[in-house]
């Protein structure tokens, strides 16, 4: 099932399969004319739970997610994505630091490419990874304004949560 939700950064397209959230896309998926529904109650529940938790995040009331997830990728991509939830809410690290965390310090560019292919942005917080010089780089190139919005949201909300 693929359905859209409204958010402060525009429509988000959520895909749920087999009772797990599998992707969040910022742009309308190809061939998406209307919600791709299914009658599976579990998928519907996961979609609603995802929407609720994302709304709480955008309201500054949630700093992590508790959702059933499923991601597909290479072993390297999964190792990178597996580190992202460990980056504290409201903080950032560099691509180099992330490469160091996966014990592959020379893989800085590959880490950036893995981040770019993260199928679950926001929930798996790749937006918290920035350039070594503190610049906002990456985030699917043209979507840097979304990365900036998310980091500002977390910076403001972190003061209220902690």
Catalytic residue positions? 126
SS3 106: coil
- What's the token pair of residue 162? 């902690």
Count the helix, strand and coil residues of the chain and give each as a percent rounded to the nearest 5: 40, 15, 45
CA separation for the pair 126, 103 (Å, rounded) = 18
Query: Is the torsion defined by CA of 24, 25, 31, 33 positive or negative?
Result: positive
CA separation for the pair 18, 68 (Å, rounded) = 10
Query: Is the torsion defined by CA of 22, 26, 32, 33 positive or negative?
Result: positive
């Amino acid at each position: 099932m693929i359905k859209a939700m409204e958010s402060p950064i525009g429509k988000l397209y959520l895909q749920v399969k087999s009772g797990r959230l599998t992707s969040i896309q910022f742009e309308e998926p190809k061939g998406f004319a209307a919600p791709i529904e299914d009658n599976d109650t579990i998928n519907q529940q996961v979609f609603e739970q995802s929407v609720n938790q994302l709304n709480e995040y955008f309201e500054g009331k949630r700093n992590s997610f508790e959702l059933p997830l499923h991601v597909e990728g290479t072993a390297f991509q999964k190792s990178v994505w597996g580190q992202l939830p460990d980056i504290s809410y409201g903080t950032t690290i560099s691509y180099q630091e992330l490469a160091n965390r996966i014990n592959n310090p020379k893989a800085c560019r590959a880490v950036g490419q893995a981040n770019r292919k993260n199928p679950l942005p926001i929930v798996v917080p790749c937006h918290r990874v920035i350039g070594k010089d503190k610049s906002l780089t990456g985030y699917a190139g043209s979507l840097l304004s979304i990365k900036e919005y998310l980091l500002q949201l977390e910076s403001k909300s972190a003061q209220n949560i902690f």
